[in-house]
Amino acid sequence: DYNRQSLSSENEDDIEAIGGALSILTVPQSPLQLLSLRGNGIVDASARELFANLDENSTLVAINLQDNCVGDDTSAAIADVLQMNTTLRCLDLSRNALTNESVAHLGRVFGVREVTDKAELKKLKAQKVPTAASQGKTYRAGNQTLVRLHLGDNPQVSDNGQQSLLAVVAHAAELFPPTNQDN
């Protein structure tokens, strides 16, 4: 078990005050492991800034943004960051303003992508990002460390949106089967 440290806020006015504290996320060995900003009325602009700081963080394992107002823009920022982040294991986005477009962005986190550029392939191998060959093509794995993604109570996400996310995850699991260490 790890020593859980958290940073949380009770209202939107405190988000500005916390803004400077969030710079701790840019420190690769930050002591912060759990970030809870639940129920703060956080909108896309604030949340995008939060995820922009996660590129190099290697200690944060859980983020709770439940009961906020984040939507498509934030989910796109999350997808960009989680393509390379290898420590975040739990993300709670339930009870927000997510849509089917948001779910499509989040699907990129887990999605398998063809790699055609040799320089990119070399970089991925140096970073130990899993790759696989199938039918003469090379693919990179999506994020394999995020094991809990909570999206409940987002009424604008339809059954089709949920099914499309599940299909992306299933396809990724075919090429990159999960390991027992994720349990």
Selection from 20-29, 95-104, 126-135 with the highest mean pLDDT: 95-104
Q: pLDDT, tens digit, for every residue of 21-42?
A: 566 666 667 778 888 889 988 8
Place 16 in a pLDDT band, splitting at 50, 70 and 90.
low
Kindly give, in sequence order, each residue whose CB lies less than 8 Å from that of residue 170, ignoring residues fewer than 6 positions away.
Answer: none
pTM, 2 dp: 0.78
7 in Cβ contact with 35 (< 8 Å): yes
Question: Nearest 5 degrees, angle CA 37-CA 106-CA 172?
Answer: 135
Structure tokens belonging to residue 143? 């994020």
The CA-atom distances, in angstroms, between 103 and each of 11, 46, 73 are 26, 19, 11
